[in-house]
Amino acid sequence: MRRALRRIARSMNLHGDFNISFTNCGVLGCDPRLVIPNENGVLPSWSFPGYDLGIPFFGTMLSLIMEGGAQKLHEYVDKRHRELGPVFRDYIGPLRAVFVNSPDEYRKIFLQLEGPMPQHFLPEAWKLYNEIRKQHRGLLFMDGDEWLHFRKILNKAMLGSNPEKYMCAPCQEAAENLVKKWKNYSRTGCTIPELQHQLYQWSIEVMLATLMGSRWRDCEQQMRSDIESVALMLHQIFMYSATLSMMPAKLAMRLKLPVWTKFVKTVDVILDKVRNL
């Protein structure tokens, strides 16, 4: 069994580079979203024409592997949307999900189905990590009354009388700095190097600028090396997470598969760096 799982991991390009290729529709245009079953294991009762449950246990995972593995999930989902429509359900290994790229169906989720306490999609690998490391995580890792309690605290800042100053100003500043850097490449006719890595850095800068406010300008340069390091590791974490989502993560942990040990080691390091920041 260990050998079989390792072969699957290798076939998913686990050791390859984390590259993203945009399809005709583009990642932002498709915006596939996972919708998980409710606590009774029942999927939302939409009328959707598309589903292909594949073969027992593996589901359509073998089809995904043929398309390039976990790192090409966005392209695989885009292709399935074109084949099956704006809403389809899929079984990818142990993961049962509904993929949505329809604005109308999004409205049904948020207005009719979500309820006052939404149930978030929590990858098994992250739940296991939180348990073995006894980690308490943020809103995206919470559900039920716990989520509602901390969401109400956050609402005081997010839904205050002047959220534009709190959120928009630092986001705008970080975006303008990035655009300024890209314009320099444009003037010389150069291709922007490591585009995805720069976008990861930008997202981290936005969060830090929002949290630190006016102090961000004073601290940006001394934090630069840590930001670049965190951005590089985020690439790796998403790669490992995507691979672990297509196999029983608990089994990968018990067998100490390379993908699991690398996932744990990388998350350990990145959380420590984020705490320092």
Query: What are the sequence ranges of the domains in the chain?
Result: 46-114, 157-276
Q: What pLDDT is recorded for position 40?
A: 44
Which of 126-130, 163-167, 250-254 comes out lowest in average pLDDT?
163-167
Q: Assess contact for 258 and 5: CB atoms under 8 A.
A: no
Q: Where are the alpha helices (DSSP H) in 188-257?
A: 195-212, 216-244, 249-254
Q: Where are the alpha helices (DSSP H) in 91-248?
A: 103-108, 124-133, 144-158, 163, 169-187, 195-212, 216-244
> What is the band of 154 on the pLDDT scale with cuts at 50, 70, 90?
confident
Which uninterrupted H or E stretch holds 52? strand 50-52
Q: What tokens were used for 109? A: 């989720």
Q: Count H helices, E strands: the chain?
A: 13, 4
Tokens, residue 239: 């790669």
Specify the pTM: 0.64
